Amino acid sequence: MKKLLLIILLMAAFTGAAAQENMPESPAQDSGFLPFAPEPLRTDLPIVSFNTGNRLLMKAFYPEYYFSDYKIGREIRWMNRNDSAFAAQWDSLGYSILVMLEEYSGIKWQEKKIDINLMRYLRTDILYDPPCFPLEAIKMEDYNEAGPTGMHQLLNLIKLLAGRNLMQYDLPGSEYDPVAGHPLMQKSSFRFDVLSLTLAMTCANLIIPPDSLDEITKSAMWKRHNPGWEMYQNHFRYSWVLTPEEPLLFFLAREPYDSPVVGMTRAPRPPRKDRTDQQYDKSAKLGAGGGRLGFSVTKTPTGLLEVVEIDTLGLAFLNGLMPGDQIKRVNGEIVRNARELMGKILEKLDTEGIYIVIIREGMESGLLFLPLEEQY
């Protein structure tokens, strides 16, 4: 009986070995690599981090609210307790978003690190530079508007990073100098913002479900914070169809400076005031910082300081200041005259930097002044 059992086992082993020998080789054995092997993760993309402790920016935006370290500390603790959903979204989708933005813009990331300042309150839905993002609400002078959540929040984040990607041409050694001076790259709601929308919506269509995306873009909140949305819908959505083969850089490079699109996206500028006008304080005009900053201002009837002259080689121009900008606050403090303005800027310019709240084309925005050698 034992001999019979042994013979059966030997025959089964021999039959199995022969069958295995006669089986065709698998694709993996034949090609020398595993099928569907994932591509290696890229290491040249910027590291995106979220900062909840920027006390300087909090004071600059809301000096009347964050007047004590206790209040600021309380807000930071709130953000640390409520940023988990936001961080989880980024952890699952962040890598794909960065790759797609580069692919559909045609502009390679040069920044090694992007610090996005999470704020409990912000005066706008996003800020490109410095990158800021509200978690709870858009807090204006006399009301609070609940901030977006879920997919709307994700779409805003994509748009913020789309704008940062377009800003890579500003960095030293940029390869995109031919388009750096294109009129459509001027920082305004109807030009740069529309290009950011064009890039962001291309990527969002690949990430956000169509019904959710449609609901977001039809909302009153979306239209209120994206004044260039109608311009995008009418003149970019179907004309600038971005693909990896024809990215945004392709369309931008072939758009003439005097094209109809460039003309219709020009934001209206207030007429230049007559400097002999008695409404202005003639003594308020002052050359900025002995020429280092490179701009001059004059006082308006409303008490704000308006930029009337700017040197394109000066530090102020390099940090984004433009003629016609009206300066509202410097590091959260109201400035009464040109001399006080320059003093406050130069006082901290070489240490922690200066955050200036301005009004441009009727919209409040912010600029971060850094010494030239510290930029990026």
List the CATH number of the domain containing 318.
2.30.42.10
Which pLDDT belongs to residue 177?
A: 64
Which pLDDT belongs to residue 269?
A: 47
Which pLDDT belongs to residue 47?
A: 94
Measure the N-to-C terminal CA separation of the chain; round to a whole number of Å: 84
Do 338 and 240 fall into the same domain? no
Do 141 and 289 fall into the same domain? no
Burial of 23 (C-beta count, 10 Å sphere; 0-12/13-18/19+): exposed
Q: Work out the mean pLDDT of the chain and round it to a whole number.
A: 79
Which pLDDT belongs to residue 340?
A: 83
Which pLDDT belongs to residue 82?
A: 85
DSSP readout, 280-329? Answer: SEEEEEEEGGGGTS-EEEEE-TTSPEEEEEE-TTSHHHHTT--TT-EEEE
Residue 4 lies in a domain: no
Which pLDDT belongs to residue 176?
A: 56
Do 99 and 182 fall into the same domain? yes
pLDDT at residue 350 is higher than 60:
yes
363 or 52, higher pLDDT: 52
| Sheet with 354-360, side-by-side order of all strands | 281-287, 295-299, 305-310, 326-330, 354-360, 363-369
Residue 270 lies in a domain: no
Do 141 and 109 fall into the same domain? yes
| Sheet with 144-146, side-by-side order of all strands | 47-51, 113-122, 132-139, 144-146
Residue 209 lies in a domain: yes
Residue 158 lies in a domain: yes
The whole-angstrom separation of Cα 68 and Cα 64 is 10
Coil, helix or strand at residue 48: strand
Which pLDDT belongs to residue 215?
A: 95
Burial of 90 (C-beta count, 10 Å sphere; 0-12/13-18/19+): middle
Among 264, 293, 309, identify where a domain stops: 264
Domain count, the chain: 2
Which pLDDT belongs to residue 283?
A: 41
Would you place residue 102 in the very low, low, confident or very high pLDDT band (cuts 50, 70, 90)?
very high
- pTM for this model (two decimals): 0.66
Residue 22 lies in a domain: no
Do 162 and 232 fall into the same domain? yes
Residue 272 lies in a domain: no
Do 292 and 258 fall into the same domain? no
Pairing of strands 113-122, 144-146: unpaired
Residues 6+ apart with CB under 8 A from 235: 261, 264
Residue 42 lies in a domain: no
97 or 290, higher pLDDT: 97
Among 264, 295, 317, identify where a domain stops: 264
Coil, helix or strand at residue 41: coil
Do 226 and 355 fall into the same domain? no
Do 202 and 68 fall into the same domain? yes
Do 312 and 258 fall into the same domain? no
Least confident of 109-118, 119-128, 179-188, 226-235: 179-188
Long-range contact pairs involving 20-26 (C-beta distance under 8 Å, separation at least 24): none
Do 146 and 251 fall into the same domain? yes
Using CA of residue 369, residue 138, residue 69, residue 51, what is the dihedral sign? negative
Residue 252 lies in a domain: yes
What is the rounded average pLDDT of the residues 94-108? 95
What is the rounded average pLDDT of the residues 149-177? 85
Which pLDDT belongs to residue 173?
A: 62
Would you place residue 181 in the very low, low, confident or very high pLDDT band (cuts 50, 70, 90)?
confident
- pLDDT tens across 306-338, in order? 888 887 667 777 777 888 889 988 877 888 888
Among 200, 235, 264, identify where a domain stops: 264
Neighbours of 267 (CB within 10 A): 16
Closest to 248 in 3D by CA, of 197, 206, 208: 197
Which pLDDT belongs to residue 267?
A: 58
240 or 282, higher pLDDT: 240
Do 254 and 287 fall into the same domain? no
Do 74 and 108 fall into the same domain? yes
Give the range of the structural domain holding residue 83, as residue numbers without chain letter: 47-171+178-264
- pLDDT tens across 273-311, in order? 444 444 444 444 444 444 567 788 888 888 888 888 887
- pLDDT tens across 17-35, in order? 444 444 444 444 444 444 4
